[in-house]
Structure 1
Amino acid sequence: MPISSEYFRDVVLREFKFLEKEFDLKSTPCGPKDEQFTVCYIGDTIQVIVEGISWGENARVAIGSCIGFENYDLYDLVKAKTGEYPEFESVITLDQIAQLPQLAILLKEHAKPVLSGDFSIFQAISEIVHARAKSFDDGVEHFVI
């Protein structure tokens, strides 16, 4: 059963409340009005976007600086920090709303330096993104994790 954009937003605001309390980010409307399943958090230097994707099947967290938003995926940040993608019930087994608490936990556990304005991990994330993109460019299928 499809959920409403209001319900999605309410759950995001509840689960990601720590961004406002601990990192002084402000939730703001973002993008065009048709992006109803998107909540943006903006601070002095950092932007976090929580969005519903895949027509209500999945959720995603993107991070980046306020200048030239990099749109890095939270899963790539976790891999850059730990060397591996997160292991827990994933997108395949959880619905969009059930993913939000887990994404909030991952963000809180792995992104504290970034949320505090330290973007030194961005180079490592960029390398992960470029390796994945390159795996699609050479005509040979590669599985990059």
Structure 2
Amino acid sequence: MVKARKQFQFLVSSYGFKEVNSSEFELNYAKTTIKVRVEGINWGLNSRVAFGTTTDTFEDYDLFDIIPYYGCFKIKLKPNIGQQEQLPILASLVDAYARPVLREDISSFVFAKAQQEKRAKQFRALI
């Protein structure tokens, strides 16, 4: 998490987040209404960034469900690189494309929730 903390330091220095309730496998940053989670997933093979509110239930909206809301681009494939190499890319994407969320604009959350529900429906159709 040392590298992740370094890569995501801009959340603290540029956006006023504070690190809260982090663990060995995830970093959590929060400010008034927004929480950002940077976590290791897939048994340490990948990294992930998620967003939610600071309410009791973290919504867990994936960065790649937030980005398309702003009309930027859609992610089709992740590069075949390791977790540590993914961190600077994810930090760059957060800083470039999730700025409204970092400034506590949660309008993209409705879109992200619809994306999650769409994937769940597609998954259920497969089983």
The within-5 A match list for 1:128-139 is 128-139=115-126
Q: Which residue of 1 aligns with 2:54?
A: 66
Q: Which residue of 2 aligns with 1:121?
A: 108
Structure 2 unaligned segments of length 5 or more: list them. none
Per-residue deviation, residues 86-130 of structure 1 (Å, max 9, x unmatched): 368x2x511000000000011111111111111011111111111
Q: Which amino acid aligns with 2:51?
A: I
Q: Which amino acid aligns with 1:25?
A: F
Deviation at 1:53, TM superposition (A): 0.7
User: Could you tell me which of 45, 63, 68 is aligned with 1:57?
Assistant: 45
Aligned partners of 1:102 and 1:86: how far apart in 2?
13
The number of aligned residues is 126
Is this contact kept in 2: 1:72–1:125, CA < 8 A? yes
Matched, 1:13 2:5: yes
User: Could you tell me which of 70, 95, 109 is aligned with 1:108?
Assistant: 95
Q: Which amino acid aligns with 1:125?
A: A
Q: Which residue of 2 aligns with 1:27?
A: 19
Q: Which amino acid aligns with 2:63?
A: L
Q: Percent identity?
A: 35
Deviation at 1:69, TM superposition (A): 1.6
TM-aligned CA distance change 1:87 to 1:136, over 3 Å: closer
Structure 1 unaligned segments of length 5 or more: list them. 1-8, 141-145
- Higher-RCO chain (CA-CA 8 Å, sequence separation at least 6): 2
Q: Which residue of 1 aligns with 2:68?
A: 79
Deviation at 1:139, TM superposition (A): 4.2
Q: What TM-score do you get using the length of structure 2 for normalisation? A: 0.90
Q: What TM-score do you get using the length of structure 1 for normalisation? A: 0.79
Question: What is the aligned-residue RMSD (CA, Å)?
Answer: 1.8
Is this contact kept in 2: 1:80–1:128, CA < 8 A? no
SS for the counterpart of 1:48 is strand
Is this contact kept in 2: 1:49–1:62, CA < 8 A? yes
